[in-house]
């Protein structure tokens, strides 16, 4: 140490990569969370032309994955949609095949439009219809095919912003462009989806759900079955969570997926919590207040609620349901004992 002058000390410390906590206490320990993520909304009607444009002008071979990323204005440096989570819209055309690869990031797809496509996950062809939820847990090989007509579009949900922030990202291309399908089509869904029955010959209980596809038809049956009688949540309405049949918990260790029905005229209670949320409109229209900001959403749109932002849902129709598909990093926040919530 060469001098007793504070500024000299700070300069010398800086050169040693040493800082003075007392000069940053407020920034590092805010009174409450101040997320860089801002409330934001993407209109599917506005996005769709761009999807089609690149479907026409960019080959799948060139793109590997033809996806528009929905990037939060506050999180551009990490290409995140909200804290720890990512959403994109992917399009694939009839006859196309997207290169097989795998990554440590967990992923799922929620089908928006089209039919006739499938994803091969670890050798199993998993077929897609609108409203289906398809899982590709971390490090499973997956490639996409489209054997139907018209463009196939879906929502891609991933946790790569979290995985990258934790320096846990691994990626590998499959030696060939496509996997061999050596498992019966849709087997993982077929053997788990009915009657809460688990195949007892499968010993290992994985942290991720073994189900390749949660069909929308089953989701509709669930809503119909409890239509008039479900108590529901004062905040989220009739909110159902997709579960891992081995644990009863979230489908992926880092992301929980839910689908919620807001009955005609529904106005939810206001709540805030420390989890991040991405919402996709399956049908209907409405308004969600996020803090002071009103987000008016329509069918197929995507919008987000940052951690600790107060939100309140309203179904804009007094005659029709609104249905939202949502995903959240709540499993992460709870596993680390960082979950808090307030109902206002």
* Residue 312 found at the interface with a second copy (CB under 8 A): no
The rounded distance, in Å, linking the Cα atoms of 100 and 200 is 31
Smallest gap from residue 320 Cβ to a second copy (A)? 21
Pick from 182, 204, 229, 292 the residue near a second copy by CB under 8 A: 229
Residue 294 or 338: which CB sits closer to a second copy?
A: 338
Q: What residues numbered 13-32 form the site for a second copy, per CB under 8 A?
A: 13, 16-22, 24-25, 28-32
Which range touches a second copy (CB under 8 A), out of 108-116, 141-149, 254-262, 310-318?
A: 254-262
| Count of residues in contact with a second copy, rule CB under 8 A | 128
Smallest gap from residue 203 Cβ to a second copy (A)? 10
Binding pattern for the stretch 109-128 against a second copy, x by CB under 8 A and - elsewhere? --------------------
**Strand ranges of the sheet holding 286-290, from the earlier edge strand across to the other edge:** 293-297, 286-290, 311-315, 271-273, 341-343
State the DSSP string of 62-86: HHSS-EEEE--GGGGGGT-SBTTBE
Smallest gap from residue 121 Cβ to a second copy (A)? 16
Q: Please say whether the beta carbons of 280 and 300 come within 8 A.
A: yes
Pick from 118, 306, 322, 325 the residue near a second copy by CB under 8 A: 306
Residue 82 or 281: which CB sits closer to a second copy?
A: 82
Count Cβ atoms below 10 Å from residue 200 Cβ, excluding itself.
6
* Residue 165 found at the interface with a second copy (CB under 8 A): yes
* Residue 149 found at the interface with a second copy (CB under 8 A): no
- Containing 335, the helix (H) or strand (E) segment is helix 330-335
Smallest gap from residue 232 Cβ to a second copy (A)? 6
* Tokens matching residue 139: 């490090």
Q: 263: alpha, beta or left, given left = phi > 0 and alpha = psi -120 to 50?
A: beta
Beta-carbon contacts of 94 under 8 Å, excluding residues fewer than 6 positions away, are: 116, 146, 147, 148, 149, 150
Smallest gap from residue 94 Cβ to a second copy (A)? 20
Pick from 39, 148, 157, 215 the residue near a second copy by CB under 8 A: 215
* Residue 241 found at the interface with a second copy (CB under 8 A): yes
Count Cβ atoms below 10 Å from residue 8 Cβ, excluding itself.
12
* Tokens matching residue 215: 């069909």
Q: Please say whether the beta carbons of 326 and 82 come within 8 A.
A: no
**Parallel, antiparallel, or unpaired: how do β-strands 97-103 and 142-146 relate?**
antiparallel
* Residue 192 found at the interface with a second copy (CB under 8 A): yes
Smallest gap from residue 145 Cβ to a second copy (A)? 19
Residue 26 or 319: which CB sits closer to a second copy?
A: 26
* Residue 40 found at the interface with a second copy (CB under 8 A): yes
Which range touches a second copy (CB under 8 A), out of 109-117, 277-285, 292-300, 306-314?
A: 306-314
Residue 250 or 284: which CB sits closer to a second copy?
A: 250
Which range touches a second copy (CB under 8 A), out of 79-87, 115-123, 289-297, 311-319?
A: 79-87
Q: Please say whether the beta carbons of 213 and 186 come within 8 A.
A: yes
Cα 327 to the center of its chain, rounded Å: 5
């Amino acid at each position: 140490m060469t001098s007793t002058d504070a500024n000299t000390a700070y300069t010398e410390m800086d050169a040693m990569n040493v800082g003075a906590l007392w000069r940053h206490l407020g920034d590092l320990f805010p009174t409450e969370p101040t997320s860089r993520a801002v409330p934001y909304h993407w209109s599917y009607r506005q996005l769709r032309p761009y999807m089609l444009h690149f479907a026409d002008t960019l080959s799948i071979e060139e793109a590997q994955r033809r996806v528009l990323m929905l990037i939060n204005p506050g999180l551009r440096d990490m290409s995140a949609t909200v804290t720890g989570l990512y959403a994109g819209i992917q399009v694939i055309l009839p006859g196309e095949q997207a290169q097989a690869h795998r990554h440590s990031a967990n992923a799922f797809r929620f089908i928006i439009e089209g039919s006739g496509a499938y994803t091969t996950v670890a050798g199993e062809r998993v077929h897609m219809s609108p409203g289906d939820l398809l899982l590709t847990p971390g490090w499973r090989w997956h490639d996409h095919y489209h054997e139907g007509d018209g463009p196939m579009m879906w929502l891609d949900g991933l946790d790569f912003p979290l995985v990258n922030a934790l320096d846990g990202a691994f990626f590998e291309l499959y030696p060939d462009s496509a996997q061999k399908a050596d498992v019966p089509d849709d087997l993982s869904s077929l053997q788990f989806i009915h009657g809460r029955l688990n195949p007892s010959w499968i010993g290992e209980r994985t942290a991720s759900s073994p189900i390749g596809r949660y069909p929308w038809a089953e989701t509709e049956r669930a809503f119909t079955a409890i239509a008039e009688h479900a108590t529901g949540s004062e905040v989220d309405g009739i909110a159902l969570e997709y579960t891992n049949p081995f644990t009863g918990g979230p489908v992926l260790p880092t992301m929980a997926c839910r689908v919620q029905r807001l009955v005609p005229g529904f106005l939810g209670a206001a709540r805030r919590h420390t989890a991040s949320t991405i919402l996709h409109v399956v049908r209907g229209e409405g308004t969600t207040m996020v803090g002071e900001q009103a987000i008016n959403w329509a069918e197929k749109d995507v919008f987000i609620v940052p951690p600790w932002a107060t939100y309140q849902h309203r179904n804009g129709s007094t005659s029709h349901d609104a249905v939202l598909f949502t995903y959240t990093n709540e499993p992460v926040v709870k596993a680390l004992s960082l979950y808090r919530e307030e109902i206002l």
